[in-house]
Structure 1
């Protein structure tokens, strides 16, 4: 049965009562999208822009190349003087005028209109001969052949690559307007810090940086609502991620703290294995409360919270992973009525199989996974032999 669309009363304390209702995954995404617009623009040097998103369209201010130039190493010639040249009828270069050796990037010598590349040349007994004819314009790059003035070389929203930086430098562009990276405050709740220390914050910081944000890690706070309230209300962040205290236990107080600091808009989501995830606002900033268990925290960030970081950084709402359509080696079991972040691994024959139970999400199962299949709420999994969309954490070897 599909989960009801009703959101529980945000002012009620849910401890030990059970969720009155769970929002659907699409409902959580809609909440994120409405509250996570791209940040404002800032201008940075092009070397600092790589990996960032262009804030607006950027047009070339000049032609590239700015003038005709040589595009092949060889000798500049007049094409008409090379007609008929072949291995059986070599033409001495001296007969075409004074030979002019040229290299890639040189200006085209006056009186020439082509370049005979080195593989068109034979040198015997000190005589340089053409062994193939050359067409007019061959070996020459004309002004504007690469980019014409006025061409949009960076479209708004494009994630800038190293090759883009090289192109901008060639066009004489030193700076570019990019979307400001959102500051994401990461707050682990003390009750979730076990003998192994804080496992969630370093993981979340790495994911935030991957998605284009600046991770602002804070020390763990006690599990009490009052201690967390201050960090939620403090200015300086574009998004706040709380790791832990999201559930319904007597000591789970993160949702209560969020309600007191602003609003608790969604608490409980029909998503395995991050069903206790909460969303709300504090000080005008979106807040996502993620489960404290690292495996569930990972799923909650990937499926929901990461979407906010990517949108704020100027990126797309989609998952930041390569996709592949692969066949299931074993059945994927899902309860139906819930979306399911199902961890999978690749088999030796190129198929995929689920790892562990969707509701448990052990840290080992997350570490071993090659990717995940997001099973929609209207399906009860996939039988063996089904073609499924797999979001791969890394490209398979050989790709």
Structure 2
């Protein structure tokens, strides 16, 4: 109809003015009803999509409305195939909700053609079928990436790097996103570490234990490496990659807040950097825990704040399982003149075996009493911890 009118309008000099006016009236009569019809289709499609996402996929109305911006369908045929496919893979209801919320576009795909080949590839590389739902829900966007152009090349890169499929699968399970950013972030970030002098063994260690670190923006990663170099971190030591992880997980404001807590206890900026070099995780400890441990060390045990940075690892230890029980033993030994105050921090950092051998020898009646006292403190604190966690 409209094409016909356009042709007539284009040649309007060949018809009379009155006839042309009549045709325009006909066009105006058609336009409102046609627009209404088109809007109805669009509205109905949107309404059906939202209802389907709520009723079948389990999304909330808000989540469904948001997801419907990226996908729209007027029948449930294709989407039902995807949902059933996920259920057959072992997806739970909550996993289906998360998957469809993150990548609603996949509800329009043919699961046999687009999803199954990727699933079969993961299984062929050692991912167990029972781990597939967890893997895909951790990073649903994997299913949108090309098998031949991205997933296979990424797998091959990490297999060659690790020289082991099992090691790579450990990293993949921890952070599936590493295969989405292999060429854009992981490879450039690894290059920056190598360029800084980090041994390959420590690069592999970072990928194994903290793989997400290597997926951060390369410009930020470069700044972190430079900052650690300025702090005189030795790139040959494993502490360097631990510090990379610690800094990558801290914002400037978070660092500042924790630094202020340490300064409250008399530390200088130099003390904070010194502590960070000794134990990077001392800046990941919560502010409350910093306060609690410093109170025990400084106020209750009389430890000079300036001596703590060298033993900053103490701040990362468990208060209930390590700090309080050993502090109690130290106070008993100190009262009997069996230890010096200067050895206070050393008592916390030694292994359990060395602690018992060095401080609780169990070679006489007094030592046996001290051991029972120590075990009672441990048991008491564990029970308190269970109560807090609701594990009576």
TM-score for both structures, normalised by structure 2 = 0.25
Give the number of the structure with larger relative contact order, counting CA–CA contacts within 8 Å between residues 6 or more apart.
1
Larger helix share, 1 or 2: 2
Larger strand share, 1 or 2: 1
